[in-house]
C-alpha cells in the first residue's frame, strides 16, 4: 500500500473514532448518570411547583428571621438587636 492509502485509512479511522466519541458523549449527556431520559412535561411541571413551594418557604423564613446588620463602626463587631 502506498503512503497515500495509509493516509486515507488513518483519516477514516480517526473520523470513525471521533464520531463514536461524540455519540457516546451525547448519549451520556442526554440520559445522564442514572440512565433516565429527560423529564416529561408533567414531571417538569411538578418539579417547577415544588421549586415554587420551596421558594415560598424560603421567603417566609427570611421574613421571620431578618438579617441583623453590623454596626457602622469598623472596630465594633457586635450586631444590632
How many degrees, rounded to 5, is the angle at CA 57 between CA 54 and CA 59?
A: 110
By residue count, the chain amounts to 81
**Given this model, what pLDDT does residue 35 score?**
65
- Global pTM value: 0.46
Q: Retrieve residue 10's grid coordinates.
A: 488513518
Please report, for the chain, the start and end positions of each structural domain, with discontinuous segments joined by +.
15-63
Query: For residues 6 and 31, which has the higher predicted lDDT (pLDDT)?
Result: 6
Ordered alpha helix ranges (H), 1-81: 3-31, 41-64
**The C-alpha cell that represents 47 in the structure block:** 418539579
Say yes or no to pLDDT of 78 above 80.
no
Residue 73, phi then psi, degrees to nearest 5: -70, 125
Angle at 41 between CA 38 and CA 47, to 5 degrees: 80
Higher-confidence position of 47 and 81: 47
User: Average pLDDT, stretch 3-29?
Assistant: 92
Q: Phi-psi category of 37—alpha, beta or left, where left has phi over 0 and alpha has psi -120 to 50? A: beta
Tens of pLDDT, residues 26-71: 888 877 666 677 788 999 999 999 999 999 999 999 999 988 777 7
Amino acid at each position: 500500500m502506498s503512503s497515500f492509502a495509509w493516509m486515507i485509512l488513518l483519516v477514516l479511522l480517526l473520523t470513525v473514532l471521533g464520531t463514536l466519541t461524540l455519540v457516546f458523549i451525547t448519549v451520556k449527556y442526554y440520559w445522564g448518570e442514572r440512565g433516565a431520559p429527560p423529564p416529561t412535561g408533567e414531571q417538569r411541571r411538578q418539579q417547577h411547583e415544588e421549586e415554587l413551594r420551596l421558594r415560598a418557604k424560603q421567603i417566609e423564613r427570611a421574613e421571620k428571621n431578618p438579617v441583623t446588620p453590623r454596626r457602622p463602626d469598623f472596630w465594633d463587631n457586635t450586631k444590632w438587636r
